Amino acid sequence: MTVIAPRPEPTRPDSPYRSYVYAYPHKSAYRPLPQPPALADVWRGEDVGALSLYTHIPFCEMRCGFCNLFTRSTPPAEQVSAYLDALERQAETVAAALPDGAAFARAALGGGTPTYLTAEELVRVYDLTERAFGVDLSAIPVSVETSPATATPDRLAVLAERGVTRLSIGVQSFLDAEAHAAGRPQKRAEVDRALNAIREHTRAGLNVDLIYGIDRQDARTWAYSLDTALGWEPEEVYLYPLYVRPLTGLGRRAREWDDHRLDLYRQGRDHLRERGYEQVSMRMFRRVGAPEAQGPDHCCQTDGMVGLGCGARSYTSATHYSFDYAVGVGHVRSIIADFVGRDVAGLSRAEVGYRLDEGERRRRHVLQSLLRTEGLDTDAYADRFGARPEADFPGEFAELAERGWLPRGGAAASVRLTEEGLAHSDAIGPLFFSPEVVALMADYEAR
């Protein structure tokens, strides 16, 4: 049996909002890989029959105050064009490195804001992707992120024609004052125009992102944003806690803010469930009966991902890799400039990343499953790793049960968080980080 080292102390901070775990390990644990391997070597022997394809567009019309993503605002047009040139070189290089039989089960355009691109540039992204990988994107589920300012009829017409199945728009709040307080200087009229355009010009499923915990937001204003979003009958709603602290006081005041966010989360959760939405995770809610995009099966725990663009990750079973990572404006611009200037040789190796040993793969499997309402399939875990998850992580699961975040009891076919456990997903995720990942993240110098 693989020995999995316990996590380091302290076991947890007081805050339920410790870390949003959308991938493991986080990019801040990535480091330059020794003797950067050729992509063909990284992918050799991998099962590539149901890959995910992610294309990263690192541009936005503005940088929101809460944003910590890899993006730059209002780049010069010549840099956007040069970026797409580099994206095409990279797509051709990666496609040549994949084993024979590579096929894609789903795709996404993220960022940044992909619809920052013009309609013509969006056509180019679709064309270069389909040409390089021999994939028909209209035949698989494709998700695209957009914004109120860029969800314009001409761009949406391109996405609709190319078969987009999901459009995700970051509204955050339907009250201008709250949006501004979160560092997003948008106008409500612009939001309404964008949502109307999405419904008028596409048949894609709609996801609306909302944020809770904004300064001066209360139960009444939160209910207003929730109800206004539901007026558009979105297929999905994501509820995100605000992580950028709008207050200067820590200590007691920070605890009050944590409690306030938990109250708003519970209000939003109950509000959506009472109105016909099923909870999928702490953040995701899906309208009951909404049609789901049909496509090949894909399992996030085991199937790989090909990332295109300088902010995208790629996943094989043993290696996660990307380009350098930063959030600060100057460093982001430098990384984009480096990517734009690369030739084929400069795009043919995995330079920055993290190699996952057996223990790390077990941790990732647990995290990718446990933080969703369907929970962790213990039989599937045992079939893959030859052990029960409770045996691999006895301390972690015991602590979750002690806190009331897991039901008490013996072995079960699935391990599901309690309702309150799901509310504390951002505290539970880091409990399963390995000591090495914790140390690397702590040692990362934010740029």
Q: What is the mean pLDDT of residues 31-46?
A: 96
Mode of pairing for the β-strands spanning 51-57 and 104-111: parallel
* Range with the poorest average pLDDT among 192-201, 325-334, 345-354: 325-334
Q: What are the tens digits of pLDDT across the range 100-116?
A: 999 999 999 998 899 99
The residue type of 94 is: V
Round the average pLDDT of the chain to a whole number and report it.
90
Strand partners, 107: 53, 142
* 231 class by beta-carbon count within 10 Å (0-12 exposed, 13-18 middle, 19+ buried): exposed
Determine contact, residues 285/277, Cβ cutoff 8 Å: yes
Task: With cut-offs at 50, 70 and 90, classify the pLDDT of residue 3.
Answer: very low
Instruction: Give me the residue label for tokens 């914790």.
Output: 438
* Range with the poorest average pLDDT among 209-218, 279-288, 303-312, 411-420: 411-420
Q: Which comes out higher in pLDDT, residue 434 or 181? A: 434
Q: What are the tens digits of pLDDT across the range 208-258?
A: 999 999 989 999 999 999 999 999 999 999 999 998 643 333 334 578 889
Determine contact, residues 173/225, Cβ cutoff 8 Å: yes
Tell me what pLDDT residue 73 has. Answer: 67
DSSP secondary-structure letter at 33?
A: P
Tell me what pLDDT residue 19 has. Answer: 85
Looking at 1.10.8.60, 3.90.1560.10, 3.80.30.20, 3.40.710.10, the CATH number of the domain 31-287 comes to 3.80.30.20
Q: What is the mean pLDDT of residues 136-153?
A: 97
CATH code assigned to 358-443? 1.10.10.920
Q: What is the mean pLDDT of residues 19-41?
A: 93
Residues contacting residue 384 through CB under 8 Å, at least 6 positions apart = 302, 365
Task: With cut-offs at 50, 70 and 90, classify the pLDDT of residue 329.
Answer: confident
Parts of the chain belonging to CATH 1.10.10.920: 358-443
Task: With cut-offs at 50, 70 and 90, classify the pLDDT of residue 2.
Answer: very low
Q: What is the mean pLDDT of residues 312-325?
A: 94
Task: With cut-offs at 50, 70 and 90, classify the pLDDT of residue 70.
Answer: low
Parts of the chain belonging to CATH 3.80.30.20: 31-287
Determine contact, residues 377/313, Cβ cutoff 8 Å: no
Q: What is the mean pLDDT of residues 295-306?
A: 89
**H or E element, residue 222:** helix 219-230
Determine contact, residues 374/416, Cβ cutoff 8 Å: yes
Judged against a pLDDT cut of 90, whether residue 299 lies above it is answered with: no
d(CA 346, CA 339): 9
Tell me what pLDDT residue 111 has. Answer: 87
Tell me what pLDDT residue 76 has. Answer: 83
d(CA 430, CA 172): 25
Q: What are the tens digits of pLDDT across the range 174-190?
A: 999 999 988 888 899 99
